């Protein structure tokens, strides 16, 4: 994560990342694509096997005027819209 950003677990398998300075959809797309690629890199296990995971990413672009609780609610709605499209899907919206 870039300096000044925050990642937190909301519960279960849901995490939120607050990224400062992303104001355009094209920038959010580049960031979430990179994030997805890093998350899905194979992990070497102690027995020599490998495993990998995928992530469905829902992103909300805020211009800094959205209250935090409303922003989190928007992210939650976006995730529920993104999940039916399948694993590794990215959906970006503006609140």
Query: Residue 95: its pLDDT value, please?
Result: 62
Separation of alpha carbons 66 and 40, rounded Å: 31
Nearest to 89 by CA among 62, 60, 65, 54: 54
Residue 57's alpha-carbon distances to 44, 46, 47, 48, in angstroms, are 24, 29, 30, 29
Q: What is the pLDDT of residues 9-56, one digit of tens each?
A: 777 777 777 787 888 888 888 888 888 888 889 999 999 999 998 888
Q: Which pTM does this prediction carry?
A: 0.73
Query: Residue 47: its pLDDT value, please?
Result: 94
In this prediction, residue 83 has a pLDDT band, given cuts at 50, 70 and 90, of: confident
Residue 59 has pLDDT above 70, yes or no: yes
């Amino acid at each position: 994560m870039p300096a000044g950003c925050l990642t937190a677990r909301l519960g279960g398998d849901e995490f939120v990342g607050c990224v400062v300075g992303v104001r355009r959809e094209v920038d959010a797309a580049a960031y979430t694509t990179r994030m997805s690629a890093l998350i899905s890199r194979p992990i070497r296990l102690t027995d020599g096997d490998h495993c990998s995971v995928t992530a469905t990413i829902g992103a909300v672009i805020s211009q800094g005027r959205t209250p935090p609780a409303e922003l989190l609610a928007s992210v939650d709605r976006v995730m529920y819209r993104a999940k039916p499209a399948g694993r590794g899907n990215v959906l970006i919206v503006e609140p």
